[in-house]
Structure 1
Amino acid sequence: MTKLRPSRILRELRAGQRSPIIKLNLGDPRIIELAGLAGASAVWLCNEHVPNDWLNLEHQVRAAKLYDMDTIVRVNKGGYSEYVKPFECDATGIMVPHITSAEEARNVVDMVRCQPLGHKALDAGNMDGLFCQVPLTEYAHHCNTEKFVILQIESPEALEVVDEIAAVPGFDMLLFGAGDFSHRIGKLGQATHPEVVAARKKVAAAALKHGKYVAVASLFGQKDEVIAEGTHVYTLGADVIELGNAFKTMVSTFVGTNASTATDSVYKSK
């Protein structure tokens, strides 16, 4: 009997658990398998800043499902196809960047949710509908209950109306973007600046007030603080950062500690 895959993150959140995710910029599905072996609940893939193509995105989603990991695709902010196609590749959630108004939030919901929440155009002939091997009613219900939508708050303008945005029905989480927000207020990269922290707390409070989950893009060494704020979904790191740090450590250790010994050994062996 065919069965649509339920969301791991939604299962964990409904059980009162916290969900760790890992952000991936690199497109190799084998990196996703490494995240699965590490025990992550989900991977965050990116179509906003990364040159992912749709076919490779589908391979990444398929690799994640081998380890019962959810996939969250940060989409290009734009139109219908950018929002719907990740779901049709069977991604579990989408993250829409730079939301600035309740109207924008309502438009996103309308495009990706089925009745009675929205007016999503239906094509169950992809992996998310098991290639038309499940009834449309089951497919539509699954779209509304086991797929999730994250909206990013990343600007002072959005922060001013975050309570209105959070009140929109049909989406699941708010994620505060400390990087872009700090840039917009002239505090570039200062994720722990008091103004940035205050904005993050305001976003979390608005989400909780309206029954939405809270997600963070990075802990920035403030694990206890964000837990106290009611955060549910945590991004622990990114592949390019962790690989870059590991490579620098290996090279600096070799150059700083073993370079002369290694070079002498090479020449003496000849």
Structure 2
Amino acid sequence: MAELKTNTFKAAIQRMELQRGLWCTMSDPLAAEMMADCGFDWMMFDTEHSPMDPVSLLPLLQAVAPYPVTSIVRPSCLNAAEIKKLLDIGAQTILVPYVQTADEAAQAVAAVTYPPAGIRGVAGLTRATQFGKIPGYHKRAREQICLIVQVETREAMGNIEAIAAVEGVDGIFVGPADLAASLGYPGEPNHPEVTRAVLDCIRRIRAAGVPPGILTLSQEVRLQAIEAGAVFVAGDLDLAALRKGLSTPD
């Protein structure tokens, strides 16, 4: 019989062990497979700000599966039906965007948890269950599912401790881009006031005993975030790396 796959990313961040990752918005399986072997601890497949959907995401999950990298998937929003589908096709780590309150965090927890504790719909012949070959999957799945919620507004900043206290939240990600807009600095994620707010959020999340995370293209902010206690950190996006690597034509 098949075994329930261990979520090494979840185990690592529970130990507060630094995990470095890559943000992915391209829907090409060959590119995903290449990036999976580049030494990152995790790859975050973004269906919120990209054309990706569950149909185009599935071959990406399959492409990276043989490699020692964790796939994280961001749904388009806090939508239980969408999250259910992402879990069924094999995602074990979910990053829910735009969570602003403890109640919304609790809704996210329910979405990744089977009844009676949650509302995740039950199906048997899914990729997540290895098509029915994992014994006791539905009773044990939540052990290896990692739920990260994203704080990215002024309101969410004020609710960090309450969000962190929600049982079942395994990590909190700070989104500098949307937070910058919420604070009055749209398009300026590295504005000094935004950076101060981001670092304050990271310190408060860590003080609450929850692993904090961040994506920033600024090496300076990234190093400051790690010093402040960030545990899962991304410093690049696939499209940004591709563009940087291309030579400007003469």
- Provide the rounded CA distance (Å) in 2 between the counterparts of 1:203 and 1:124: 40
| Structure of higher RCO (CA pairs closer than 8 Å, 6+ residues apart) | 2
SS in structure 1 opposite 2:150? strand
Q: How do residues 134-149 of structure 1 correspond to structure 2 at under 5 angstroms?
A: 134-136=134-136, 138-141=137-140, 143-149=141-147
TM-score by length of 1: 0.85
- Provide the rounded CA distance (Å) in 2 between the counterparts of 1:251 and 1:202: 39
Q: Give CA deviations for 1:79-98 in whole Å, capped at 9, x if unaligned.
A: 21111111111112111111
Q: Are residues 1:209 and 2:221 paired?
A: no
What count of residue pairs does the alignment treat as equivalent? 249
Displacement after TM superposition at 1:192 (Å): 3.0
Q: Are residues 1:244 and 2:243 paired?
A: yes
Q: How do residues 249-260 of structure 1 correspond to structure 2 at under 5 angstroms?
A: 250-252=247-249, 255=250
Q: Are residues 1:30 and 2:30 paired?
A: yes
Q: Give CA deviations for 1:28-79 in whole Å, capped at 9, x if unaligned.
A: 1111112122111121111112111322211111111110321111111142
Q: Give CA deviations for 1:182-220 in whole Å, capped at 9, x if unaligned.
A: 112221233333321232123223322332111101252
Cα RMSD after superposing both structures: 1.9
TM-score by length of 2: 0.92
117 and 158 in structure 1: CA distance in 2 versus 1, 3 angstrom threshold: same
Q: Give CA deviations for 1:113-161 in whole Å, capped at 9, x if unaligned.
A: 236753422213211111111223x4431x2221111111111111111
16 and 159 in structure 1: CA distance in 2 versus 1, 3 angstrom threshold: closer
Moved runs in structure 1, 4+ residues, more than 3 A? Answer: 114-117
Flag the structure with higher helix content.
1
- Provide the rounded CA distance (Å) in 1 between the counterparts of 2:214 and 2:96: 14
- Provide the rounded CA distance (Å) in 1 between the counterparts of 2:217 and 2:125: 39
Structure 2 spans left out of the alignment, 5+ residues? none
Q: Which has the larger radius of gyration?
A: 1
Once the two structures are aligned, what percentage of the paired residues are identical? Answer: 23
- Provide the rounded CA distance (Å) in 2 between the counterparts of 1:81 and 1:27: 22
Q: Which residue in the other structure is 1:232 paired with?
A: 231
Q: Which residue in the other structure is 1:262 paired with?
A: none
Structure 1 spans left out of the alignment, 5+ residues? 256-270
